[in-house]
Amino acid sequence: MAFDSYHEAIWESVPEGLDPPHAELRERFLLEQVRVLARERGEPPRVLDLGCGEGHFAAQLARAGAVAVGADVSREALRRARARHPELDLQVIPLCGPWPLADARFDLVWAGETIEHVVDTAAWLSEVRRVLRPGGSLLLSTPAHGRVAMLALALSPRRFAEHFDPRSDHLRFYSARTLRRLLEDFDFEHIDVRGAAGVPGARSLLLACARRARL
């Protein structure tokens, strides 16, 4: 199956109208950073919701006053987003090759529960850097794979097999340390990676904020 058909099949198997996981928590994280950026710049920030799905976060960004663009590799996801939020600026981006977005167009890129699905992480982060202005911010969330979580999985063969099912659409698995190192390797700075959701010591979600180096 071609990769584009693969992503379409995934979306076609998902019921429409589901709330994104940890939606309220991730909204607070995202909109807090947007408000800080708006105060710093004195104008509405330009924000790309990368992997926007049905448009939940892009719509929240627009309501908060940001100039929001939603982008996804799945035409089915964008069809749903247009039906739910016809006012949004939504664009399809290719799985491979440059995105049809101008250099340094955005003040902030938001990628919620997206990076774990990316095949070519290096190319993806290179495009994120390209469309961000120098000093612009990358915010992302992804499932957490810290030591306690991995130990819990290792102690249960059934849960381990389910979590790492090779048919899953999750292709990458991040801890706070590996995510931070990845962002450092792509010349992001002022990197903050924190655990969220779950319980202390066994968080289920990572929230990351980083800035593109100005040079």
The structure tokens listed for 92 are 């399809």
The reply to whether 32 belongs to the active site is no
User: What is the gyration radius of the CA atoms in the chain, in angstroms?
Assistant: 17
Number of CB atoms found within 10 A of residue 195's CB: 19
User: Angle 23-41/56-63 helices, nearest 10 degrees?
Assistant: 40
Instruction: Decide: helix, strand or coil at residue 155.
Output: coil
- Residue from 40, 43, 76, 113 carrying the catalytic annotation: 113
Strands 205-212 and 132-143: antiparallel
Counting beta carbons within 10 angstroms of the beta carbon of residue 83, is it exposed (0 to 12), middle (13 to 18) or buried (19 or more)?
exposed
**Residue type at 36?**
V
Instruction: Decide: helix, strand or coil at residue 35.
Output: helix
* Active site (catalytic) residues: 113
